[in-house]
Structure 1
Amino acid sequence: MKALTLNNGIDIPIVGSGTNTYGKEGNQYAGALRGDTEEIDWAIENGYRHFDSAQKYRNEEVLGKGIKKSSLPREDFFITTKLNTFEGFGGTDWAHAEIEKSLEKLQTDYIDLFLIHNPWDNHTEILEAWRILEDYYNRGVFKSIGVSNFKKEHLDIILENGSVPPAVNQIKSQVGNWNEELIDYNKKNDIATVAWSPLGGIDEKALQVLEEIGKPYGKKYAQVVLRYQIERDVIVIPKSHNKNRQAQSLAIFDFELTESDRDRIAQLPGSH
């Protein structure tokens, strides 16, 4: 597995697994937890060691249980989770309590990458939240810290006022919306980009082109998209409830796209 080295020297596997519907009834985001760890078990068996979780997904315990069950050492895994800031910031005590809950649910005493999940309209509070993350980072509880869904103006708050720069900005980057400008800005500031929902946005027309590009390599459309992303040094976290498709998403290191392939992919319209 290829890894990227973050700005603090920590390695992150360039392909991870999303988890936001894992362990849930009907594989639905809003579904209740089923009580099993099936998809995590398959992913680990397939070779995934990087998992992307979040408090907002309400299923961190599924990942914690699956990893514990695997009997592999904790150090073999790279775990990301995120502070749920979609409703804004609940203050210092709230943040500490939420972080402790994540550690408990994930059954671990450290988290490899901890993110602020979403920006909100209070720059002072964003900085306050960041300083809490910095404290956990300085104590070694978080090995790396970063943000999610942050635009340039939000990143600037931290870059200008924080003492630890974000290691990662997790953003939407998919067919028809590659988000090049923000990826360039991340890169310029030595912030790695993680693409959430990297296989979204594909309509019928794009699907045909991607299948055509993949044919000579013996690859499926999804593998072509993921390969395009990692060739740009973008970390991807695809997700599947199908064991074989999970495996396919890891089988992207044995071919390389041509310049012409990449041009065609860059110009694909999305389904938005």
Structure 2
Amino acid sequence: MEFVTLSMGSTLPIVGSGTNTFGKVDRNYMGEINGDTTELKDAITLGYRHFDTAISYRNEAVVGKAVKESGLPRSEFFLTTKIPGKEEYTANEAAVRRGVEESLAALDTSYIDLYLIHHPWDNLAEIPGVWRVLEEYVDQGILKEIGVSNFDEKELGHLLEHARIRPAVNQIESHPGKWNDGIISYSLENQVIPEAWGPLTRVSDEAQEALSAIGTNYNKTWAQIILRYQIERGVVVIPKSHNKERQALNLEIFDFELTEDERKIIASL
């Protein structure tokens, strides 16, 4: 595993696992929570330590349960969760605190490694107020790092102007057909680590064919080529799979490097 260092000094595994359909009936995002930790335990056995959840996913408790069931120390894990950018959680300081405490209780932990604002909202002037509450939790050591998700250049720039603690991460959609190069470059320029959600989603047949052709040079799958491309350009990835074999493959991306020509082909997809 490789790591990146975040703004407050934490080390983040560059490959993690999304969880938004874990612990749910029929593995459906909107499915009822059933508490099943099978996929999480498989991932932990394979070596995953970085897991990404959110209040909106409703399954923070499932992630916390898997961590407990693993028998490993809490310090072995890097847990990310997110507070919704909704008035229920952002209206005032008390609302923000309720969200943080809700996450702590659900994850059954005394601290959270990375806490994100899940998405921005129209009134940018309100976001720094929410951020200041999160900064106070960093001061207390309860939130180790704080960041944002789905912020564009304008939204991230506004927060950077008003933040005392620089956002550690900007988690954004990034995959073939929507690499989101602009916000990735802007984030990196401002020392905010870009993190790709859904890195293996919405990949066209044409893109898969081109990626698979590159993969033959390294005995790698099209999915592994995507993940390798992302980490080579400084993007953390959180692929998600319910299949243990594919979970394993998503970690096997550290034994090769793409050529400049290959990166140009991938960037054009």
TM over 0.5: yes
Q: What is aligned with 2:72? A: 72
SS of residue paired to 1:143 = strand
Aligned letter for 1:111?
Answer: I
> Counterparts of 1:211-226 in structure 2 under 5 Å?
211-226=212-227
Deviation digits for residues 176-204 of structure 1 (CA, Å, limit 9, x no counterpart): 11111111111111100000101122111
1:8 Cα deviation from its structure 2 partner: 2.3
Please give the TM-score of this superposition, normalised by the length of structure 1: 0.96
Q: What is aligned with 1:177? A: 178
Q: What is aligned with 1:206? A: 207
Q: What is aligned with 2:14? A: 14
8 Å Cα contact 2:22-2:36 kept in structure 1:
no
> Counterparts of 1:106-125 in structure 2 under 5 Å?
106-125=107-126
Where do 4+ consecutive residues of structure 1 move more than 4 Å? Answer: none
Give the direction of change, closer, same or farther, for the CA distance of 1:224–1:126 in structure 2 (3 Å limit).
same
SS of residue paired to 1:112 = strand
8 Å Cα contact 1:213-1:261 kept in structure 2:
yes
1:154 Cα deviation from its structure 2 partner: 1.1
8 Å Cα contact 1:86-1:117 kept in structure 2:
no
- Consecutive unaligned residues of structure 1, counting only runs of 5 or more, are none
SS of residue paired to 1:185 = helix
Aligned counterparts of 1:190 and 1:245: Cα–Cα separation in 2: 31
Aligned counterparts of 2:35 and 2:138: Cα–Cα separation in 1: 32
Aligned counterparts of 1:191 and 1:93: Cα–Cα separation in 2: 27
Aligned counterparts of 2:87 and 2:250: Cα–Cα separation in 1: 33
SS of residue paired to 2:196 = strand
Does 1:51 find its partner at 2:37?
no
Give the direction of change, closer, same or farther, for the CA distance of 1:9–1:35 in structure 2 (3 Å limit).
closer
Q: What is aligned with 1:62? A: 62
Aligned counterparts of 2:124 and 2:263: Cα–Cα separation in 1: 38
Aligned counterparts of 1:149 and 1:174: Cα–Cα separation in 2: 14
1:90 Cα deviation from its structure 2 partner: 3.0
Aligned letter for 1:190?
Answer: Q
Q: Mean alpha-carbon deviation: is it higher for 118-127 or for 108-117? A: 118-127
Aligned counterparts of 1:87 and 1:152: Cα–Cα separation in 2: 23
Aligned letter for 1:51?
Answer: F
1:97 Cα deviation from its structure 2 partner: 1.1
Deviation digits for residues 22-72 of structure 1 (CA, Å, limit 9, x no counterpart): 011111100001222111100101110000110000000010000000010
Q: What is aligned with 1:246? A: 247
SS of residue paired to 1:118 = coil
Aligned counterparts of 2:208 and 2:162: Cα–Cα separation in 1: 44
SS of residue paired to 1:202 = coil
Q: What is aligned with 1:186? A: 187
SS of residue paired to 1:127 = helix
SS of residue paired to 2:147 = strand
Equivalent residues, number: 268
1:87 Cα deviation from its structure 2 partner: 5.4
Please give the TM-score of this superposition, normalised by the length of structure 2: 0.97
Aligned counterparts of 2:120 and 2:157: Cα–Cα separation in 1: 12
Aligned counterparts of 2:105 and 2:75: Cα–Cα separation in 1: 17
Aligned counterparts of 2:117 and 2:49: Cα–Cα separation in 1: 22
Aligned letter for 1:42?
Answer: D
Aligned alpha-carbon RMSD (Å): 1.1
- Consecutive unaligned residues of structure 2, counting only runs of 5 or more, are none
SS of residue paired to 2:166 = coil
Aligned counterparts of 1:140 and 1:87: Cα–Cα separation in 2: 26
SS of residue paired to 1:81 = strand
Q: What is aligned with 2:40? A: 40
Aligned letter for 2:264?
Answer: D
